[in-house]
Structure 1
Amino acid sequence: MPTIHTIETKSLGDRSYLVHDGDVAFVIDPQRDIERVLKLATDEGVRIEAIFETHIHNDYVTGGYALAQQVGAKYYVNGDDDVSFERTPIADKDVIDVGSMKVQALLTPGHTFTHLSYALLDDAEPVVFTGGSLLYGATGRPDLLGKEHAEALARHQHASAHRLASELPDETQIMPTHGFGSFCSATPTTGDSSTIGLEKKQNPALTQGEEEYVEALLAGLDVFPAYYAHMGPANASGPDASDLSPVHRADKQELRARLEAGEWLVDLRTRTAFAAGHAPGTYNIGLDGQFSTYLGWLIPWGTPVTLLGESEEQVAEAQREMTLIGIDRAAASATGGPSDWTDDELGTLTRATFADLAQVKHHREVVILDTRRKQEWDESHIEGAVHIPLHDILKRMDEVPDGELWVHCAGGYRASIASSILQAAGKTVVHVDDSFDEQARAAGLTLV
Structure 2
Amino acid sequence: MDVSIIETSSLGDRSYLISDGAIGVVVDPQRDIDRVLALARDRGVRITHVLETHIHNDYVTGGLELSRTTGAEYVVPTGDDVGYQRRAVSDGDLIDAGPILLQVMHTPGHTHHHVSYVLRETTGGIRGVFTGGSMLFGTTGRTDLLGKEHTEELTHAQYHSVRRLAAELPPGTEVYPTHGFGSFCAATPATGDSSTVGEQRETNPALTQDEQRYVDELLAGLADYPAYYAHMGVLNTEGPPPVDLSLPKLVDPDELRRRIEAGEWVVDLRERTAFAAGHLGGTLGFELSDSFVTYLGWLYQWGAPLTLIGENEDQVADARRELVRIGIDDLDGAAVGEIHTLVAGTALRSYRVADFAALSERLPEQDITVLDVRQRNEYETSHIDGAINIPLHELADRLGTLPDGEIWVHCASGYRSSIAASMIDRPDRTTVLINDDFDNAKDTDITSTT
1:139 aligns with 2:147: no
The answer to whether the aligner puts 1:302 opposite 2:289 as a matched pair is no
Q: Secondary structure at the match of 1:294?
A: helix
Tell me how far 1:256 sits from its aligned partner: 1.1
The 1:326–1:426 alpha-carbon spacing in structure 2 relative to 1, beyond 3 Å, is farther
Question: Aligned-pair distance for 1:425?
Answer: 8.3
Tell me the equivalent position of 1:91.
90
The alignment partner of 1:201 has SS state of helix
The structure 1 segments of at least 4 consecutive aligned residues displaced by more than 4 Å after TM superposition are none
How does 1:387-402 map onto structure 2 within 5 Å? 387-402=389-404
Maintained 8 Å contact 2:118/2:126: no
User: Partners of 1:10 and 1:215 in 2: how far apart?
Assistant: 29
What residue is the counterpart of 1:168 in the other structure?
Answer: 169
Q: Which residue of 2 aligns with 1:115?
A: 114
Paired with 1:424 and 1:294, the residues of 2 have a C-alpha distance of: 21
Q: TM-score, normalised by structure 1?
A: 0.98
Where in structure 2 are the equivalents of 1:280-299 lying within 5 Å?
A: 280-299=281-300
Of 302-311 and 227-236, more deviation after overlay is shown by 302-311
Q: How many residues align?
A: 446
Cα distance in structure 2, aligned partners of 1:55 and 1:9:
17
Which residue of 364, 367, 384 maps to 1:365?
367
TM-score by length of 2: 0.97
How far apart in 2 are the matches of 1:403 and 1:172? 58
Whole-angstrom distance in 2 between the partners of 1:260 and 1:395: 20
- Report whether the alignment pairs 1:68 with 2:67: yes
| Aligned equivalent of 1:199 | 200
Q: Once the two structures are superposed, what CA deviation does each residue of 1:144-202 show, in whole Å capped at 9, x if it has no partner? A: 00011100000000000000000100001111000011000001111111111111110
Partners of 1:374 and 1:404 lie apart in 2 by 23
Counterpart among 408, 411, 432 of residue 410 in structure 2: 408
- Counterpart Cα distance in 1 of 2:242 and 2:184: 23
Q: 1: CA distance between counterparts of 2:383 and 2:267?
A: 30
Q: Which secondary structure does the structure 2 equivalent of 1:418 belong to? A: helix
Q: After the TM superposition, which residues 149-298 of structure 1 pair with which residues of structure 2 at under 5 Å, given as runs?
A: 149-298=150-299
Shift of 1:363: 3.3
Question: What CA deviation, in whole Å up to 9, does each residue of 1:8-53 have, x standing for no partner?
Answer: 1111111100111021100000000011001111111111000000
Q: Which runs of 5+ in 2 are unaligned?
A: none
CA RMSD across the alignment? 1.2
**CA–CA distance in 2 between the matches of 1:427 and 1:331?**
30
Change (3 A) 1:328 1:245: same
**Closer, same or farther: CA 206–246 of 1 in aligned 2, 3 Å:** same
SS state of the match for residue 396, structure 1? helix
Whether the 8 Å contact between 1:106 and 1:116 is mirrored in structure 2 is yes
Find the counterpart in structure 2 of residue 50 from structure 1: 49
CA contact (8 A) 2:384 2:446 kept: yes
- Equivalent residue for 1:30? 29
State the distance in 1 between where 2:313 and 2:120 align: 45
- Structure-2 separation of matches of 1:319 and 1:365: 42
For residues 74-133 of structure 1, the C-alpha deviation after alignment (integer angstroms, 9 at most, x for no partner) is 000012111011111111111111121101111000000000101101366621010011
Partner residue in 1 for 2:19: 20
Distance 1:224 1:213 in 2: 20
- Equivalent pair of 1:251/1:341 in contact (CA under 8 Å): yes
1:341 shift after superposition:
1.8
Amino acid at match of 2:180: G
What CA distance in whole angstroms lies between the structure 2 residues aligned with 1:259 and 1:149?
42
Amino acid paired to 2:246: S
**C-alpha displacement at 1:424, in angstroms?**
4.8
2:17/2:26 contact within 8 Å kept:
yes
Q: Is the 8 A contact 2:110 2:142 kept in 1?
A: yes
- Residue of structure 1 aligned with 2:421, choices 402, 419, 433: 419
Distance 1:90 1:185 in 2: 24
Question: Which structure 1 residue ranges, 5 or more long, are not aligned?
Answer: none
1:82 and 2:81 aligned: yes
CA distance in 2, matches of 1:379, 1:444: 16
Matches of 1:426 and 1:390, distance apart in 2: 22
| SS class of match (2:146) | coil
2-structure distance, mates of 1:270, 1:424: 20
What is the aligned partner in structure 1 of residue 2 from structure 2?
Answer: 3
User: Using the alignment, how far apart are the partners of 2:98 and 2:273 within structure 1?
Assistant: 51
3-state DSSP of counterpart to 1:232: helix
